Amino acid sequence: MDFMVFQYPMISVQACLDGILLGILFALIAYGMALQWGVMNIINIAQGDLVILGGYIAYFMYLYGIHPAWGVIVSPIIMFFVGIAIYKLVINKVVDRDLFISILATFGISILFMQLMNFAFGADVVLANSDYGTTMLFNSNVVLPNSKIFSAFISILFAICLVIYMKKSKLGRAIRATAQNARAAKILGVDTEKVYAATFGINAALCGVAGALISITFTIHPYMGLPYTIRSFMIVIVAGLGNLPGVAMSGMGLGVFEEFADYILGTEFRIGSVFLLLVLILVYRRFKLSRKREYLK
């Protein structure tokens, strides 16, 4: 354990800012998860692997000499079609079944993606270098890479675009109607099958954006998917479905928590602390609800 973070206040500021910028990215992924969870009632374990796949698309552009920031536009387009393909092949067969079936099926997809990425891109930790430089704050005591600021900005931009799209467009209204009551929407002429496919595609596209940003700001590795799934799951259960400000806030909270865990416990316990936090949050909510004789369901 290392309490340097409390002795030097500037490190705390650094951790907070890092955490908030990171948390905005988590919130973007979690928003995709909340979307598909709310609309299709599916928990997608492969969420994190979609993120990593999106990251590798940006990384590949970087390898071929294109600036990886363009991945923010290319990656969601490719990932949208990947998402639709996954929906058509697997998800549409598990949509109205037991939730555990969908968890297990997406677990299978997750393992499949992990291994295919391992074959295609190798097991090295890679990052796409954006050459954005850094910003110094507070007498150069706090160093923020510009790529992190860029990624947070792009995430917010995409989230706002999506919210407006969901509010205004015809498809967005159909998606919201299906989330409220799939059967009633079907009766009123909404093609729910199409809505489901579009939802999953949009979710994958969001993962693509987040992945491209992660490949610029952090590192990507074929096996790093599961923590992103768990993080987004955690954010969604804390914030609740369809609560975008809540998702943003709890995303940032998680980011700050992780940065502090990193400083205090050490980097080797970072992922472990995320998973433990999930268990603790679930147990806390279980005890809170059990006072009212209710349970998480």
Partner 1 sequence: MSISKNNLILYFGILTFGIAAPFIFPAFKVQLSILCVLIVLATTWNIQGGEMGYNSFGNILFYGLGMYLCASVQVGMFFPLAEWTESGGEKTFVHTPAQFFQGMAVGLLVAAVVPTIVAGLIGYSILGLRGHYFAICTLGLGVAAGEISGGIEIIGAGQGFTTPPFPDVGSLDSRGEFFYFLSFFVLVLTFIAVRGIYSTRFKLILNAIRDNEDKAEAMGIETMKYKIVGWMISAFFCGLAGGIMGGLVGYIDSTDVAFDGREMGVFMVLMAILGGKGTLWGPIIGATVFHIFKEGFWTFFLGWQYVALGVLIVVIVIYFPEGIMGWLREKYPERFGEVVDEKDRKAQVELK
Positions in the binding site for partner 1 (CB under 8 A): 43, 90, 93-94, 97, 99-101, 103-105, 107-116, 118-119, 226, 230, 233, 237, 266, 268-269, 271-272, 275-276, 278-279, 282-283, 286-287, 290, 295-297
Cβ-based nearer residue to partner 1, 16 or 265: 265
Long-range contacts, stretch 137-144, CB < 8 angstroms, 24+ apart: 137/17, 138/10, 138/13, 141/10, 141/13, 141/14, 142/10, 142/13, 142/14, 142/17, 143/14, 144/17, 144/18, 144/21
The b-or-e profile of 216-235 (16+ CB within 10 A means b, else e) is: bbbebbbebbbbbbbbbbbb
Give the position of tokens 């492969």.
46
Least distance (Å) between residue 12 CB and partner 1: 23
Shortest separation between residue 91's beta carbon and partner 1, angstroms: 10
Whichever of 42 and 128 has its CB closer to partner 1, that residue is 42
Distance CA 196, CA 187 (A): 16
Of residues 112 and 157, the one with the C-beta less far from partner 1: 112
CB of 237 to partner 1, least distance (A): 8
State the nearest-atom distance from the C-beta of 95 to partner 1, in Å: 11
Neighbours of 108 (CB within 10 A): 12
Q: Which is nearer to partner 1, 43 or 154 (CB)?
A: 43
**Cα–Cα dist 40/29, whole Å:** 17
CB of 101 to partner 1, least distance (A): 6
Between residues 167 and 286, which has the closer beta carbon with respect to partner 1? Answer: 286
Whole-number Å distance between alpha carbons of 207 and 123: 21
